[in-house]
Amino acid sequence: VQLVESGGGLVQAGRSLRLSCTASERTFTTHAMAWFRQAEGEERLFLAAITWNSGTTRYADSVRGRFTISRETDKNTVYLQMNNLQPDDTAVYYCGSSRALGSTAEGYMYWGQGTQVTVSS
């Protein structure tokens, strides 16, 4: 399974971005898709996850209400809409696939290459 992220970039604080992650295929190993981020020198942190079949979602408390995860099953694509971005949101954003709707990086089997998001003040 290959995952390809896109949509990152440089934005000013308070603006929005939408990230995309397209999967090469959907199997039992891609039951759930998630977004994580990793700032320089820090661990990879869970943001949000969604299941392909039912669209059930899960969010980290830190982004709930500000970030929204969604999917388009016919395009094998998952999105992360990020609103009111702040400098602390600066990181490399990764999508991952898993057999379950988990919130730990260890539970995700496949990862994309990451897309950089930089928020200026």
Neighbour order of strands in the sheet with 77-82: 3-6, 17-23, 77-82, 67-72
- Cα(73)–Cα(16) distance, rounded to whole angstroms? 23
Amino acid sitting at position 2: Q
As beta bridge partners, residue 93 has 37, 115
Does 110 have pLDDT greater than 70?
yes
Does 96 have pLDDT greater than 70?
yes
Model pLDDT, residue 29: 64
Query: pLDDT tens for residues 5-61?
Result: 999 999 999 999 999 999 998 876 678 999 999 999 999 999 999 999 999 999 999
- Cα(1)–Cα(110) distance, rounded to whole angstroms? 7
| Strands in the chain per DSSP E | 3-6, 9-12, 17-23, 32-38, 45-51, 57-59, 67-72, 77-82, 91-98, 110-111, 115-120
In terms of Cα–Cα distance, which of 15, 58, 13 is closest to 35? Answer: 58
Collect all residues with Cβ–Cβ distance below 8 Å to 42 and sequence separation of at least 6.
91
Model pLDDT, residue 25: 86
Model pLDDT, residue 28: 67
Model pLDDT, residue 4: 96
